Structure 1
């Protein structure tokens, strides 16, 4: 099992890391090359991090010094149900266990907030991410949110 490098710190979003996190989400949008207008992504970025505010939500970043190199969010979508969003790690930091570290940390946040289930949507073409989610105990479920992309996959984990 790969351990995250010691120089990488996972922490809650702060005023100092908001712009870095927004930049990383924009980098994710460039990387994915899919129009996420159905998720109202421009509005989300304009009002970031409103969607992930405490106490029901959370947004975590992975930092290497001052640089934000990874992120993940959590938002409430129903009674006892939350959704993991925007898990992304910069290309040059991939394969070092940072994505798993962020996913583990956001699952802990969800448990601490009293959620009983966590959901997420991903794409089958993102095989590495889907494999990580399944390794973390997520199981495929039916569609629970609008997603017009052909290879969308929906997952849930009991917390």
Structure 2
């Protein structure tokens, strides 16, 4: 397996399919009102950077950085297709997000994930994120787990 991770447009058919698969997975784990998904159109906003992991030509995973201000960014749309899970793809995508946030001198990264995602929790915690209360404008929900990480720029 030779995985590459690059910034790509979310508006391609292949990335739309990947995001649709992610949405299907999330809706199987949480009620629709507890899924705070960016659409691919929202992911194309200039405040968002999207990374796509590929094994050869196949899109196998993704993640995004949404900037909320000059100091706060949010990790969004993290996903690895099941056949590639457990092989470090998600962590590699997260590393790209962290490198970019550091380079842009963001002070804090936050994220919201579901209450049924222990593999994601492990990736975030190994990367230095700590659990916290609700972030940004997310409601406090039994279906959500929140994380934050202070960056070196802080």
Aligned counterpart, 1:23: 17
For residues 31 and 40 of structure 1, what CA distance do their matches in structure 2 show? 12
Q: Say if 2:118 is the partner of 1:155.
A: no
Q: Kindly indicate whether the alpha-carbon contact (under 8 Å) linking 1:8 and 1:64 is maintained by their aligned counterparts in 2.
A: yes
Q: How do 1:55-94 and structure 2 match up within 5 A?
A: 56-94=47-85
1:136 is displaced (CA, Å) by: 0.4
For residues 37 and 62 of structure 1, what CA distance do their matches in structure 2 show? 26
Kindly report the root-mean-square deviation, in angstroms, between the aligned alpha carbons of the 2 structures.
2.2
Aligned counterpart, 1:128: 119
Runs of 5+ unmatched residues, structure 2? none
Give the aligned length: 147
TM (norm. structure 2) is 0.84
SS of the residue aligned with 2:20?
helix
Query: Which residue among 12, 23, 36 is the counterpart of 2:7?
Result: 12
Q: How do 1:48-59 and structure 2 match up within 5 A?
A: 48-51=42-45, 53=46, 56-59=47-50
1:134 is displaced (CA, Å) by: 0.7
Runs of 5+ unmatched residues, structure 1? none
TM (norm. structure 1) is 0.82
For residues 18 and 71 of structure 1, what CA distance do their matches in structure 2 show? 13
Q: Kindly indicate whether the alpha-carbon contact (under 8 Å) linking 1:22 and 1:48 is maintained by their aligned counterparts in 2.
A: no
User: Runs of 4 or more off by more than 3 Å in structure 1?
Assistant: 36-41
For residues 18 and 48 of structure 1, what CA distance do their matches in structure 2 show? 14
